[in-house]
Chain A
């Protein structure tokens, strides 16, 4: 769907190039582009944390089970079933986006269109337990889930107990569980209660939410890497009060953004973004966490890939500092982190810190359509000459971002023969392509 996000313009003359901020939102690169992507929302202020885990489980519900290390004991009231639509909305709102601009007629004096802020307003069990050294500290049925909070004395007992109770525990999980046990972590274990599931009538698993208080600002990923085939994809949305969130034990890297790309990418944005992300992961040796979006949600968005989540949605995701009776909304800062990880390159759990960096950042890619109308003046000749250089620059930008072969890009752009464009490729530029 095309959404026009800028409708007015004021003229301002600057030397040289006409810059336009007026454009159309075209497309977004959301999490659906990536296979088996996990999504997690982490809401945090002080030591208070609300963790929401989206489940994209596609198999037989009887087979579904998760074991998540949690830092503290969890009471029944601390667990909640979330709404998948809120996470999808957060995904759409924060996804890298494609925008397009249309060049004006080159014949009038070059003019800059002043930026007009048109951002959308933000919305004001078992008898063997003792022998195995496993203690069920609590047992709840919440929504379609049967949930156990376990503590254990040793990993061997916990693995035995889990296996006996029908959980498939991957080889190699024992030492990781042991490490968590010694760090005094509890285990949050969830299976689907088929009777409740049938009663509720959902045809998918809703996200699980846990609210807890702990100085640990982290996300356990080690159990997930134990038996994974190859790398996994993870999206983390953090909602905080002060500013951008980053990982403290891995490098957080901003994705390249604000690049001008060839216009044919309009029909191939999904492929482009996947290629860009693959290439950046490769460049960073798969050892970095990537920042895709960082924004103060009270400032809406610019351009909007989707309207900002409402106060009600944020509350349901766990934003506990926005009380309905408090009047004006308090700042909420979203950070969207995206990583591809495996056990070798990400041996430790992710540890985060909130910074006071309030600078807004977004993955944003730009298409500039040339003027298609008639234009017959000296400036138009100059404009056409510059187009060739601009197209070549766009081709090179795309090749640098994705690692794609530049000759193929030029072919897809239907660039005129190199001899006619005035652009001469130097002999070494073909050498290693």
Chain B
């Protein structure tokens, strides 16, 4: 097999997220300063290093901390830099503390964002409307590149989620008699792609078996719709994922499967 196919997926993720962050700051006016981005990334790396020593891991591996902190830079907003620091710390330490049978329960970025939004009473927020849709298709192509580097290993959860979510939105539009422009507008959002390809797809926090992952994707899609169209709150995807993550140990117990390992694993 050629070298290209053996690329470590996390390097591709890092490259895509870095590109997205640069594009967001320069073209979409994301309210992120280089200082705050540096603060989030360095806090995450430092937290990863401290946790590595505290939990006596064999080697310090910055990759997953970098990916999580890049996602935080793209999504997390706050007036106070202290809140950004605390958010980055919760994100990283949650991987080490909130564990169940050798897996961390929550996607770190997802938990960092939702816990900060909840605990600060809205002092930390996520702007779902920040994306616009001009560069949507470029980002879509970059996300589909992930499919290639993952070699379809765990893409099932992403596609199952997108399948359920898109079907529900289209079904809702048919039921309401809305024009297709409405669900298409709802779907053309960078936040949805970031969520589907970078957050719910996290192999360390999804169920071990394929059936489990598909059930999990269905729960997340239904939860997101519930938050958006029944409770009328924003960021339904994030709230749904953090709640549904609690079901993963149950799904693993009910439907056991082979545990995922990164190539060149370092336990976290």
Residues of A in contact with B (beta carbons under 8 Å apart): 155, 175, 178-179, 182-183, 214-218, 242-243, 246-254, 284-285, 287-288, 343-344, 347-348, 351, 353-359
A33 to chain B, nearest CB (A): 24
Contact across chains for B181 and A344 when beta carbons are under 8 A apart: yes
Is B179 an interface residue, CB under 8 A from the partner? yes
Chain A interface: which of B2-10, B36-44, B131-139? Answer: B131-139
Contact across chains for A178 and B177 when beta carbons are under 8 A apart: yes
Is B176 an interface residue, CB under 8 A from the partner? yes
A58 to chain B, nearest CB (A): 31
Contact across chains for B176 and A178 when beta carbons are under 8 A apart: yes
A247 to chain B, nearest CB (A): 5
Write out the residue numbers on chain A whose beta carbons fall within 8 Å of the beta carbon of B130.
Answer: 251-252
A96 to chain B, nearest CB (A): 18
Choose among B127, B134, B231 the residue that contacts A355 (Cβ–Cβ < 8 A): B127
Contact across chains for B232 and A248 when beta carbons are under 8 A apart: no
Contact across chains for A182 and B125 when beta carbons are under 8 A apart: no
A179 to B232 Cα, complex, angstroms: 16
Write out the residue numbers on chain B whose beta carbons fall within 8 Å of the beta carbon of A357.
Answer: 31, 77, 79, 125
Residue of A nearest to B178 (CB): A179
B219 to chain A, nearest CB (A): 22
Contact across chains for A246 and B29 when beta carbons are under 8 A apart: no
Is B123 an interface residue, CB under 8 A from the partner? yes
Contact across chains for B129 and A249 when beta carbons are under 8 A apart: yes
Contact across chains for B178 and A252 when beta carbons are under 8 A apart: no
A175 to B123 Cα, complex, angstroms: 39
Contact across chains for A358 and B79 when beta carbons are under 8 A apart: yes
Is B16 an interface residue, CB under 8 A from the partner? no
Contact across chains for A246 and B176 when beta carbons are under 8 A apart: no
Contact mask B231-242 → A, CB, 8 Å, 1/0?
Answer: 111100000000
Contact across chains for B129 and A247 when beta carbons are under 8 A apart: yes
Contact across chains for A249 and B29 when beta carbons are under 8 A apart: no
A40 to B66 Cα, complex, angstroms: 44
Residues of B in contact with A (beta carbons under 8 Å apart): 28-29, 31, 77-79, 120, 122-125, 127-134, 175-179, 181-182, 185-186, 231-234
Residue of B nearest to A285 (CB): B134
Choose among A251, A254, A356 the residue that contacts B79 (Cβ–Cβ < 8 A): A356
Choose among A182, A243, A285 the residue that contacts B176 (Cβ–Cβ < 8 A): A182
Contact across chains for A175 and B78 when beta carbons are under 8 A apart: no
Write out the residue numbers on chain B whose beta carbons fall within 8 Å of the beta carbon of A354.
Answer: 122
A243 to B127 Cα, complex, angstroms: 14
Contact across chains for B123 and A356 when beta carbons are under 8 A apart: yes
Q: Contacts A355-B77, A357-B31, A358-B79 given: A246-B177 contact, CB under 8 Å?
A: no
Choose among B31, B134, B179, B232 the residue that contacts A175 (Cβ–Cβ < 8 A): B179
Q: List 29 A-B contacts (CB under 8 A).
A: A179-B176, A179-B177, A179-B178, A183-B176, A214-B232, A246-B127, A248-B128, A250-B129, A251-B130, A251-B132, A252-B127, A252-B129, A284-B132, A285-B134, A287-B133, A287-B134, A344-B181, A347-B179, A347-B182, A348-B185, A348-B186, A351-B234, A353-B125, A353-B128, A354-B122, A356-B79, A356-B120, A357-B31, A357-B79
Write out the residue numbers on chain A whose beta carbons fall within 8 Å of the beta carbon of B179.
Answer: 175, 347
Q: Contacts A175-B178, A178-B177, A347-B179 given: A355-B232 contact, CB under 8 Å?
A: no
B137 to chain A, nearest CB (A): 14
Residue of A nearest to B31 (CB): A357
Write out the residue numbers on chain B whose beta carbons fall within 8 Å of the beta carbon of A252.
Answer: 127, 129-130
Contact across chains for A216 and B131 when beta carbons are under 8 A apart: no
A277 to chain B, nearest CB (A): 17
Interface pairs A-B: 6 shortest CB-CB: A347-B181, A179-B176, A215-B232, A251-B132, A178-B177, A248-B129
A230 to chain B, nearest CB (A): 18
Write out the residue numbers on chain B whose beta carbons fall within 8 Å of the beta carbon of A179.
Answer: 176-178
Residue of A nearest to B182 (CB): A347
Contact across chains for A249 and B31 when beta carbons are under 8 A apart: no
Can you add 13 more A-B contacts, CB < 8 Å, to A214-B232, A356-B123?
A178-B177, A183-B176, A215-B233, A242-B122, A247-B129, A251-B132, A252-B127, A252-B130, A254-B29, A288-B132, A344-B181, A348-B186, A357-B31
Write out the residue numbers on chain B whose beta carbons fall within 8 Å of the beta carbon of A344.
Answer: 181
For A248, A254, A285, A354, the residue with the greatest tally of chain B CB atoms inside 10 Å of its CB is: A248
For B78, B130, B177, B233, the residue with the greatest tally of chain A CB atoms inside 10 Å of its CB is: B177
Write out the residue numbers on chain A whose beta carbons fall within 8 Å of the beta carbon of B79.
Answer: 243, 356-359
Write out the residue numbers on chain A whose beta carbons fall within 8 Å of the beta carbon of B78.
Answer: 356
Choose among B31, B120, B127, B175 the residue that contacts A248 (Cβ–Cβ < 8 A): B127
A272 to chain B, nearest CB (A): 22
A163 to B134 Cα, complex, angstroms: 40
A260 to B247 Cα, complex, angstroms: 57
A215 to B232 Cα, complex, angstroms: 6
Write out the residue numbers on chain B whose beta carbons fall within 8 Å of the beta carbon of A284.
Answer: 132
Contact across chains for B122 and A356 when beta carbons are under 8 A apart: yes
Write out the residue numbers on chain A whose beta carbons fall within 8 Å of the beta carbon of B178.
Answer: 175, 179
Residue of A nearest to B120 (CB): A356
Residue of A nearest to B80 (CB): A356
Contact across chains for A216 and B232 when beta carbons are under 8 A apart: yes
A225 to chain B, nearest CB (A): 11
A356 to B178 Cα, complex, angstroms: 33
A321 to B77 Cα, complex, angstroms: 26
A284 to B29 Cα, complex, angstroms: 12
Write out the residue numbers on chain A whose beta carbons fall within 8 Å of the beta carbon of B129.
Answer: 246-252
Write out the residue numbers on chain B whose beta carbons fall within 8 Å of the beta carbon of A348.
Answer: 182, 185-186
Q: Contacts A353-B234, A356-B122 given: A249-B181 contact, CB under 8 Å?
A: no
For A179, A218, A242, A344, the residue with the greatest tally of chain B CB atoms inside 10 Å of its CB is: A179
